[in-house]
Structure 1
Amino acid sequence: MSQPRRTSRRRAWTVLTLPALLCVLAACSGGPVSGKGAGGAAPRASETPSGPPGTLFDNFHYSGPDDPSLAANGWQVRTGGGGPGIKDTWSTAGASFPSDATAQGGRILQLQSSTDGTVQGTRQVEVQSTGTSLFTGTFAARVHFSDKPTSGRDGDHVVETFFPISASDSSTKYSELDYEYLPNGGWGSVGPQLDTTSWYKADPPDRVTHALKRHLEGWHTLMVTAMDGKVTYSLDGKKLFTSSGKYVPREKMDIHFSNWFIDLPFTGGTRTWDMKVNWFYYKADEAVSEADVQKAVDGFYGAGTNYVNTVPKS
């Protein structure tokens, strides 16, 4: 069951360093910036990025949370206050971009949250888009879910998530489309469970949801297609859930990947939980099949393209 509601979900912006700010300004005037390659080469500006119009792709080839190209390409690692989960425990410490032999292209975004069962000893992590808001079309990400902690005792109520969401919870056209994986359950449910949820209003909560009761340890392609008055969620090409009526996007949304704790069920030793993201892909105003998404992604990898943004500005 999806949680009652996120309180003060965002926006605790990170403070940009001078190099990052200069890079953002350069991106605004000179076009999108290509992410760093596997060899750690400096980011290069692209006057005419490859890829068809209305496409956003990123395979997260960055050096770390302070890499200027991360901000220039429209991403930030959350810090500061607010929920969900354990409030005011958001930290850049859990975000990294390591090599991973199990990932396409060998590189990932890793989101590692940790806790010792106390608020002071808890660190949650979220990476969110900032530069390009997205509306209807196809959203896809290759995500690795964890069923057990990377270290420490099992049993935490952890939530591993991917979702587009409105910039403000108080918006009159609030929109949110969730994937939430709860390996140990939470909010009274027993895991493992993957919730897919379409929201109409944040407070009071008004949403429709579907729960898939299944272990999902490993890599999966998560897709949301929002087209023609309905939203369809699919996992590895298989449809899970469809919402319609008022439970569809009504305004542009940011993209979020996060790994956080519902509560702190026990103390006694630190444990860490890993969520991984291989790539993110968006196609504006088109319903794209899982096979065609993967074909497009394969094309970007084959061309050595780490980042593309041809989504029209508005």
Structure 2
Amino acid sequence: MSLPRRTPRRRAWAVLTLPAALCVLAACSSGPASEGGTDAAPTREASPSPSGPPGTLFDDFHYTGADDPALAEHGWEIRTGGGGPGIKDTWGASGVGFPSDSTAQGGTVLRLRSSTDGTTQGTEQAEVQTTGTRFLNGTYAARIHLSDQPTSGRDGDHVVQTFFPISPADSSENYSELDFEYLPNGGWGSVGPQLDNVSWYKADPPDRVSHSLKRKLGGWHTMVITAMDGKVTYSLDGKVLFTSSGKYVPREKMDIHFSNWLIDLPFAGGTRTWDMKVDWVYYKADEAVSGADVQKAVDGFHSDGTAYVNTVPQS
């Protein structure tokens, strides 16, 4: 399915100041606990050194909270600015946390919690992106927990749970974007559930190719994107879903994003929350790495007690 282009996202980002981050931490800790865990992070320390295999990013999101200095030091930013997609200008930081989770391989998760009461004023969407280091050809992978129902409140929202590398600006001449987007309740006229993969050539006017997997996918999944040798391949749990080629391949370096947002507000009344969780993220520059070999690499980092590596050249 070829999706309608989302509203322009670019992009008033803001790095959290310490006072703001402390407020975020308080907000996160006052909310409901993460599914399968608590808001108290384990005591295992993140690796103090970014040393590791060349051209590699790995992070298992072992942070104490939004005010952890290592979060920014490791090249992550929480979105608090305006713009789209979804409900415009409703991006906030209170839904971003790093709770412990017994179902996560590394013991903690990046939790993205979006909430709404059906009004724009009562809506907050959540997104986190990389900064400093940008990524082009190679393998992108993440273990992500998708939600088929809200964590609390009434079901029925058109929520989008996403993992995607994207150009720094929608207006870029060499615009590039590669999407995993899960819509448990559908949207844009589709009833769902569905997982969409979309490879973009241009944002405006929209020029992209896409594929939809029509299936419920609540729970943990490993998502892999390989961009090598003039083609992009999307895989889920080791199974190839879609391949794009020709002009629908990355043409410039991109940031990695995780986002949990709402297409629209189909009904008002009663607050509901939607959680998306990320166990770990992995990138290997200029190599097509199979899902099995991605997992071997991740297992190796965990067995060594390594929570973070970034040897990808900054750009």
TM-score scaled to structure 2, two decimals? Answer: 0.90
Instruction: Measure, in 1, the Cα distance between the counterparts of 2:158 and 2:129.
Output: 22
Note the alpha carbon deviations across 1:262-301, whole angstroms, 9 max, x for none: 0000011000000000000000000001010000000000
In the TM superposition, 1:282-293 aligns within 5 A as: 282-293=283-294
Residue equivalent to 1:225: 226
Q: Does structure 2 conserve the Cα–Cα contact (< 8 Å) formed by 1:161 and 1:179?
A: yes
Residue equivalent to 2:246: 245
Residue equivalent to 2:120: 119
**Ranges in structure 2 where 5+ consecutive residues have no aligned partner:** 22-40
Q: Does structure 2 conserve the Cα–Cα contact (< 8 Å) formed by 1:76 and 1:130?
A: yes
**Could you tell me how far 1:10 is from its partner in structure 2?**
2.0
**Number of aligned residues:** 294
Identity value in percent: 73
Q: Does structure 2 conserve the Cα–Cα contact (< 8 Å) formed by 1:73 and 1:131?
A: no
**Could you tell me how far 1:220 is from its partner in structure 2?**
0.3
Instruction: Measure, in 2, the Cα distance between the counterparts of 1:309 and 1:6.
Output: 32
1:12–1:118: structure 2 CA closer, same or farther, 3 Å change rule? same
Query: Higher mean Cα deviation, 158-167 or 96-105?
Result: 96-105
Q: Does structure 1 conserve the Cα–Cα contact (< 8 Å) formed by 2:47 and 2:309?
A: no
**Could you tell me how far 1:40 is from its partner in structure 2?**
6.3
Matched, 1:141 2:142: yes
**Could you tell me how far 1:154 is from its partner in structure 2?**
0.3
Helix, strand or coil at the partner of 2:220:
strand
Instruction: Measure, in 1, the Cα distance between the counterparts of 2:77 and 2:125.
Output: 14
Residue equivalent to 1:24: none
Instruction: Measure, in 2, the Cα distance between the counterparts of 1:11 and 1:56.
Output: 25
Residue equivalent to 2:54: 53
Q: Does structure 2 conserve the Cα–Cα contact (< 8 Å) formed by 1:9 and 1:84?
A: no
**Ranges in structure 1 where 5+ consecutive residues have no aligned partner:** 21-36
Instruction: Measure, in 1, the Cα distance between the counterparts of 2:176 and 2:12.
Output: 16
Instruction: Measure, in 2, the Cα distance between the counterparts of 1:6 and 1:200.
Output: 16
Helix, strand or coil at the partner of 2:106:
helix
**Could you tell me how far 1:214 is from its partner in structure 2?**
0.4
Instruction: Measure, in 2, the Cα distance between the counterparts of 1:8 and 1:262.
Output: 13
In the TM superposition, 1:196-275 aligns within 5 A as: 196-275=197-276
Q: CA RMSD in A?
A: 1.5
Kindly provide the amino acid, as one letter, of the partner of residue 181 in structure 2.
Answer: E
Note the alpha carbon deviations across 1:166-216, whole angstroms, 9 max, x for none: 000000000000000000000001110000000000001000000000000
In the TM superposition, 1:152-171 aligns within 5 A as: 152-171=153-172
Give the ranges of 4+ consecutive aligned residues of structure 1 lying more than 3 Å apart after TM superposition: 15-18
